[in-house]
Amino acid sequence: MESQQLQVYPARCATVAVVDPRPGDYEVLLDAPVGSLRPQFLSCGREALRLGQMEQVDLWVIHLVLPDMSGLDLCAMLKARLSRPVIYIVSDDYRAEDERAARARGASLFGCKPVQAWWFEPWADPGRADREGTGFSTVHPRSRGSAG
C-alpha cells in the first residue's frame, strides 16, 4: 500500500488560487521562501468558480487566457459573486490594452510572466494588515535583454 504524505500548513496561511493552464510557471510559489502560502492550482475558469463557492480564497491569480473563458471574464464574475476578492491578472506578454481592461474589471495587479516572488510577499505574512489593498501598481513588461 502506498503511503500518502499529508501537507501541513500554518493555522493562518493565505490561500492563493492560481488559475492558469500552465502551473509550472508558478514554481516561485513552491520554491521561494514566501512564507505561509497555500497555493491551489486550477486549470480553468469553471474550476475557479467552483472553488470560490466552496472555500475562502485570499488571493486569486488568473491568467489572461484560459481554455474555457477569458481571465478578464473570470475576474468580473468573481468580483460580482465574492465579497471584495483580491485578483491579480497575469499575461505572457505586456499589452497596454490588456492592462487597462484588467484594471477596468477590478484587478489589483496586472503582471507579466515570469512570475515574481515579491507579488506574494503581502500574503506570506499571516499578520500583515495591508493584504487587501496590496498597494502594487502595474508590473511592467519584463526586460528582454536588448532593445530591438
Yes or no: say if 18 and 29 are a contact pair by the CB < 8 Å rule. Answer: yes
CA 87 to chain centre: 6
Residue 139 has pLDDT above 60, yes or no: no
pTM above the 0.75 mark? yes
For the chain, give the percent of residues with pLDDT over 70: 72
Residue 135 has pLDDT above 70, yes or no: no
Residue 60 to residue 147: CA distance in whole angstroms: 33
14-124: CATH architecture = 3-Layer(aba) Sandwich (3.40)
**How is the chain split into domains, by residue range?**
14-124
8 or 40: whose pLDDT is higher? 40
126 or 14: whose pLDDT is higher? 14
Yes or no: say if 14 and 37 are a contact pair by the CB < 8 Å rule. Answer: yes
Residue 131 to residue 37: CA distance in whole angstroms: 13
Please compute the mean of the pLDDT values over residues 70-92 and round it to a whole number.
95
Residue 126: pLDDT band with limits 50, 70, 90: low
Q: Say which residue the cell 485570499 belongs to.
A: 58
- Give 49-78 pLDDT, tens digit per residue: 999 999 999 999 999 999 999 999 999 999
Give the dihedral sign, CA 145/114/66/136. negative
